Amino acid sequence: MKKQLLAVEGTLTPLSSKSHITYSCLVDEDPASLDMEFRYTPKVMEDPEASRLLIWEAIEKYEAAELVELRKAEWERYMPLQNLLTLSVDDPHGFRGSAHRHPSEQRHMLCEQEASPGFLAGPLPSGIWKITISVHCVVTPECTYQLIVHKGGQSRDLGSVRAAHAYTT
């Protein structure tokens, strides 16, 4: 039987870029699995003029002086600008993996025998688990996210699992 452990929402701005938001949840007994649903929106900046301004700013900041005007002329090749948020998980004993993926809707599972790519399969100990949202980049004026964590799903729910990884501590 699935039980919700955590359900949070938040709103980010470009000032949130290059930061981390960590949530904790208590897993009070060894569950059969943990299921994390994560989504954020928007993924893409739709405003071409705002995109151009950000791209030009980055070019002026990071490009060699002799290439600035050339890169500005071809600014559209860097389109579309995208927000990027990713997840990492720590169990009570340490790091259990991360999912540095671009899709804005993700589902990750952990259980003793299998785990979603990027995460380590193994026992799911009781205690405080931490899920960290890494805010790599927010280019839109606002970006909202939602994170829901459940415990206790059945292995048939592991549709997104592709590889098992050994868990060692």
Confidence of residue 31 (pLDDT cuts 50, 70, 90): confident
Reference 167, options 121, 117, 126, 124; nearest CA is 121
- Per-residue pLDDT reduced to its tens digit, 10-21: 999 999 999 999
Amino acid identity of 105?
E
> What confidence category does residue 89 fall into, taking pLDDT thresholds of 50, 70 and 90?
very high
- 3 state SS of 152: coil
The stretch 50-57 carries a mean pLDDT of 96
Query: Mean pLDDT throughout 28-51?
Result: 93
Average pLDDT of span 25-54: 93
> Which part of the chain has CATH 2.60.120.380?
2-44+82-152
- Output the pTM of the full model: 0.85
The whole-number pLDDT of residue 91 equals 96
The answer to whether domain 2-44+82-152 has CATH 3.40.30.10 is no
